[in-house]
Amino acid sequence: MRRSHPTLAVLCLSVFVVGTSEYLISGLLPQTAADLDVSVGTAGQAVTAYALGVVIGGPVVAALTIRVPRKGLALGLMLLFAAGSAVSAAAPTFAWLLAGRVVSSLSHAAFLALALVMATSVAPPGRAGTAISTVASGFTVATLLGVPLGALLGERAGWRAPFVVLTALALAGAALLAVVLPRQDPPAAWLREEIAVVLRRPVLLAIATTAVGFSGVAVVFTYLAPLLTGVSGFSAAAVSGLLLAYGAGSFLGNLLAGRLTDRSMSATVRGVFGGLAGVLVVFPFAVGWQPAAVAAVLVLGLLSTATIAPLQGLILRHAGDAPTLAVAANVGAFNLGAAAGAVLGGVITAAGALRWSGLAGAVLSLTGLALTFLVLPRARRVAEPRLSGVADQA
């Protein structure tokens, strides 16, 4: 895997830049609202606009660029992201900020899907899971470091400064991609073949597994801070430390899951969902005692992103030589699951049952686990090497 290291490293860096943008604005809402003369609630729609761009626009962009050579597409998507970030940084009105966010979001799912597929194309046989988790770790580091550092920069230098930095990093990432990415011909598959892959029963089930299973994490994580302060009695500073530990755990869990996926995809994905269901069931009881709450947060962090490698690997296994649109749809499914979980968690919180949100999350994780038994039996018929070389023509 040594020869693939530079490619994976630059793909990981690029995913970090793109991933940082998604939730960056969340920590800058008061400053943004005041500067653009809108309410904080209205400013929050910049998060919604980005999420919709990822869920809806990502697969559309991926579909429209199926026949574009992969290296040129990667560069184009990074430049599109840079353009959106620049518009956001210079936005004179809130409408311009929304426009910049949407432009950036259009490259998000398509670029992440392309990065994951390209990662498998440079990975040695039997190491596709590790390659996927390596590139996906850029997203977990974005959550762990990129978003908090961006928020800190925004507090000190104004909310526009982080978007200026993102623009510069995106341009640097595009330059590095131009150097390290190998030239690749356009995929042999046409759009109709990509659509046919997405409509396959195992692929649809895998996408549903992603959306449903990941929503279980979002039900609890979205409201984790008020849960830890209001029920566990932690201070705001202690909660910040726990969230940092959660992020570190998610980073390690993602990398570990990649290695385990290379050994057994079915055991990994079922083990992760089973573990998530278990920790979410005990969460309402663990938060009543601070040491147990700390342990529950750490385990939840470890398992939260461990679904990425096996679920993306599952998509790639069934996608054959037409994986791009399916992977982009699965990236959107992660975002859809996060949004759905946040909505459900909000309903539970509004009903005064914040402490018991883990039980709803456990039901969703168990549903995701049940779905894996529908999709994985057919996966056994497909040879393992297919996952490692599925993107050779991507």
Q: Is residue 394 part of a domain?
A: no
pLDDT for residue 149: 81
- CA distance linking residue 315 with residue 131, whole number of Å: 15
**Cβ neighbours for 64, distance < 8 A, ≥ 6 positions apart:** none
Q: What is the CATH number of the domain that holds 365?
A: 1.20.1250.20
User: What percent of the chain has a predicted confidence (pLDDT) above 90?
Assistant: 23
Q: What is the pLDDT of residues 50-67, one digit of tens each?
A: 878 888 887 888 888 877
Residue numbers of the domain that contains 323: 192-389
**Cβ neighbours for 27, distance < 8 A, ≥ 6 positions apart:** 147, 148, 150, 151, 154
Q: Is residue 15 part of a domain?
A: yes
Is residue 275 a contact partner of residue 174, using CB atoms and an 8 Å limit?
Answer: no
Residue that is last in its domain, among 139, 167, 186: 186
Is residue 306 located within the same domain as residue 334? Answer: yes
Q: What is the pLDDT of residues 318-348, one digit of tens each?
A: 776 667 778 878 888 887 887 788 788 888 8
Is residue 151 located within the same domain as residue 199? Answer: no
Residue that is last in its domain, among 137, 169, 186: 186
SS3 content of the chain, % helix, strand, coil (to 5): 85, 0, 15
Q: 185 to each of 71, 169, 296, how far by Cα in Å?
A: 9, 27, 47
Is residue 205 located within the same domain as residue 241? Answer: yes
Total number of domains in the chain:
2
User: What is the pTM assigned to this prediction?
Assistant: 0.75
Residue that is last in its domain, among 186, 218, 233: 186
> How sure is the predictor about 85, in pLDDT bands with cuts at 50, 70 and 90?
very high
pLDDT at 90 over 50: yes
Q: Is residue 293 part of a domain?
A: yes
The mean pLDDT value for 183-210 works out to 78
Is residue 105 located within the same domain as residue 229? Answer: no
Is residue 76 located within the same domain as residue 224? Answer: no
pLDDT at 93 over 90: yes
Is residue 172 located within the same domain as residue 209? Answer: no
Q: What is the pLDDT of residues 301-318, one digit of tens each?
A: 889 888 888 887 777 777
Q: Is residue 290 part of a domain?
A: yes
Using a 10 angstrom Cβ sphere, with 0-12 exposed, 13-18 middle and 19 or more buried, the burial of residue 298 is middle
Residue the block writes with tokens 């296994």: 317
Between helix 324-350 and helix 357-379 the angle, nearest 10°, is 160
User: What percent of the chain has a predicted confidence (pLDDT) above 70?
Assistant: 91
